[in-house]
A and B are shown apart, each in its own frame.
Chain A
Amino acid sequence: AQTVTQSQPEMSVQEAETVTLSCTYDTSENNYYLFWYKQPPSRQMILVIRQEAYKQQNATENRFSVNFQKAAKSFSLKISDSQLGDTAMYFCAFTRAGGTSYGKLTFGQGTILTVHP
């Protein structure tokens, strides 16, 4: 079974600064997808960024980028120029690319990020 671990229950950052959230995962699969989802106080789950394991290039979406280290099974999220609206719970998630997973997501425990003015 796959597991996803987020070792930082809470993080804080000053507005305009950079913060990195950590995620590690355990799998014997070679092909899979990794995601970061954001859950603001409204509780809506919003996709931030996704990474395909067979792509070596790290994914980037505006101020959000990942550092994907496949051998180390590490998938961290870097938020640059943090904004107050980035305050949320962030979840790292994993899904297998094959077999009978059919896209079901396995989530980490979440990291609460607070951006201070």
Chain B
Amino acid sequence: DSGVTQTPKHLITATGQRVTLRCSPRSGDLSVYWYQQSLDQGLQFLIQYYNGEERAKGNILERFSAQQFPDLHSELNLSSLELGDSALYFCASSGLAGGPSDTQYFGPGTRLTVL
């Protein structure tokens, strides 16, 4: 158990809908990362937050957005869902510096299926 929690574990929804994925980092970690794992694209970095502020952005679609709240949990919002958004979405957290020297610990992931 990494100490990172993600809810829900599974989500099944229809095209055009909007969903919210939730992540709670390890106790004391200030940095949260979101990754998408799909058959087509492999594992890709989406976005990073550090202590409530967006710090880095990767291949995140405009239909996707994220935020980190004062209690440090983070939410990833996916809207106007398409079949191709079906994937495993991981959250990871890292320590105080939130930089490359910190090890990232991954949550169990949320499996999103868009029908």
- Shortest A108–chain B CB gap in Å is 8
Residue of A nearest to B9 (CB): A43
Number of A-B residue pairs with CB-CB distance less than 8 Å in the complex they form = 70
Q: How far is the CA of A50 from the CA of B100 in the complex (A)?
A: 11
- Shortest A109–chain B CB gap in Å is 5
Chain B, residues 78-115, CB within 8 Å of chain A (1/0): the string is 00000000001010101000111111111011010000
What's the dominant secondary structure at chain B's contact region? Answer: strand
A103 B108 Cβ-Cβ under 8 A: no
Residues of chain A contacted by B70 (CB below 8 angstroms): none
* CB contact under 8 A between A103 and B102, given known A43-B108, A44-B108, A109-B42: yes
Interface size on B, residues (CB 8 A): 29
Contact of A107 among B43, B48, B55, B56 (CB under 8 A): B43
B58 within 8 A of A: yes
Q: Which of B45, B48, B102 has the most CB of A within 10 A?
A: B45
Chain B, residues 30-58, CB within 8 Å of chain A (1/0): the string is 01010100000011110010100001101
B88 A103 Cβ-Cβ under 8 A: no
B2 A103 Cβ-Cβ under 8 A: no
**Other 15 A-B pairs with CB < 8 A, given A102-B31, A103-B48:** A37-B106, A42-B108, A44-B109, A45-B106, A46-B106, A91-B43, A98-B100, A101-B100, A103-B33, A103-B94, A103-B98, A103-B99, A105-B33, A108-B42, A110-B43
List of 10 A-B pairs having minimum Cβ-Cβ separation, nearest first: A45-B106, A107-B43, A103-B100, A104-B45, A95-B100, A102-B56, A102-B55, A97-B100, A103-B99, A104-B56
Interface residues of B (CB under 8 A from A): 2, 31, 33, 35, 42-45, 48, 50, 55-56, 58, 88, 90, 92, 94, 98-106, 108-109, 111
Q: Could you give 5 example pairs across A and B, Cβ below 8 Å?
A: A33-B100, A43-B108, A102-B98, A105-B33, A107-B43
